Structure 1
Amino acid sequence: MILKNSKIGISSEELSVRSLIYFIMELQNLFKYIGNYLLEVDETIAVAESVTSGFLQFSFSQMKDASKFYKGGITAYTPDEKINLLKVDESEALACDCVSPNIAETMALNVSKIFKSDWSIAVTGYATPVPESKQKLYAYFAIVYKGQVILSEKLDLHSRTKQVNAQLYYTEFILGCFKLELDKHHENRSIS
């Protein structure tokens, strides 16, 4: 399939590559802010993800001096791996296809314990419409600070969003929310 962009024919594959490049370029300021903040306050982060399939981990690895604050992550794509590695409840996992607010929160809490990090982020959801999602695209994510869930949200996307674009959007949105939580944390530290 060729889509017309001006006078140049661009394939959908090229658009996906361009989306990835644009995503990386747009996130540079976000990366810089998050990395600098975590370095400044000497705090660490870990990630558990499924629907974003490593994009969050990739993002943290791109931050300057990442090894000083980014402890690592787990991509658990199947229910078995979420149950075994991240200790989500098996009956709940099977009942909801591992996609619920509680699953995301449990993933975030347990990845923080595994890596002994101050912060953690987890996400689970759908990047393609499937019968289990009722043909919809959505994800649940959670942000944890020092063993407490401080943000747990659902993100909905249009069902015709391409898979890679859905994964990129989820990642960018979650990192943006994390930056906002860091801003709140900074304000609270300033007041104390």
Structure 2
Amino acid sequence: MEFHKKLLEYIGQSLMTADETIAVAESVTSGCLQLAFSQIPNASLIYKGGMTAYTLPMKVKLLNVDQEEAEKCDCVSENIVETMALNVAKLYETDWSIATTGYCTPIRNSSYKIFAFFSFSYKGKIIHTGKLELHPKTQALNAQLYYTEFILGCFKTEVSKNKEVQSRLQLKINGNERIKAS
């Protein structure tokens, strides 16, 4: 399992430059994102850790997912994944977080579909949540790897947007400082 090296380097360098950290809460990707983040050069500077909470009881106990809601949707919904993202960031005290939940095999609870929800939080707020659907004949491991690669690509986009916002803010601050100094 090798992940796109340049993608991981970009994410790692961006987070290091911003002096920001990340944690991961996984279900459907079952540790693949944690493995990917551990492959980033100097990972310990940005990656604080993660967890795989694969079952409903563990999501409830470790990530404060509402049990009644989780039972209604088999732990697979936009709200569940957002709760996971927000709470793993709190737990690990990180700026960023990623969470995943979904199905890598078609079962009755998934209406025999393969799909995943993923969510990113930044500084205590959800900034992106998405859903990814795959062909029902996709092999489970291939689904998990595809989800991981796709989610990392989406995360890179969010990190890039954040970098641009931070750059504009810095320019504005520097511009205001020059005006005050005049």
TM-score, length basis structure 2: 0.92
What is the root-mean-square deviation in Å for CA atoms of aligned residues?
Answer: 0.6
1:131 matched to 2:108? The reply is yes
The partner residue of 1:89 within 54, 66, 80 is 66
Which position in structure 1 is the counterpart of 2:141?
164
Give, as a single letter, the amino acid of the residue that structure 2 aligns with 1:31.
L
1:111 CA displacement: 0.1
- Aligned equivalents of 1:48 and 1:90: distance in 2? 17
1:141 matched to 2:96? The reply is no
- Aligned equivalents of 1:141 and 1:52: distance in 2? 10
- Aligned equivalents of 1:126 and 1:30: distance in 2? 25
For the residue of structure 2 that corresponds to 1:179, the secondary structure is helix
- Aligned equivalents of 2:164 and 2:89: distance in 1? 23
1:158 CA displacement: 0.4
Which position in structure 1 is the counterpart of 2:35?
58
Runs of 4 or more above 3 Å deviation: none
Which position in structure 1 is the counterpart of 2:127?
150
- Aligned equivalents of 2:16 and 2:168: distance in 1? 20
Which segments of 5 or more consecutive residues in structure 2 lack a partner in the other structure? 170-182
- Aligned equivalents of 1:152 and 1:60: distance in 2? 20
- Aligned equivalents of 1:52 and 1:158: distance in 2? 16
- Aligned equivalents of 1:113 and 1:186: distance in 2? 22
| Alignment: residue pair count | 169
- Aligned equivalents of 1:42 and 1:187: distance in 2? 15
- Aligned equivalents of 1:142 and 1:124: distance in 2? 9
Which position in structure 2 is the counterpart of 1:190?
167
- Aligned equivalents of 1:173 and 1:79: distance in 2? 25
Matches within 5 A, 1:75-114: 75-114=52-91
- Aligned equivalents of 1:33 and 1:86: distance in 2? 29
Counting aligned pairs with the same residue, the percent is 57
1:170 CA displacement: 0.4
Which segments of 5 or more consecutive residues in structure 1 lack a partner in the other structure? 1-19
Which position in structure 2 is the counterpart of 1:119?
96
TM-score, length basis structure 1: 0.87
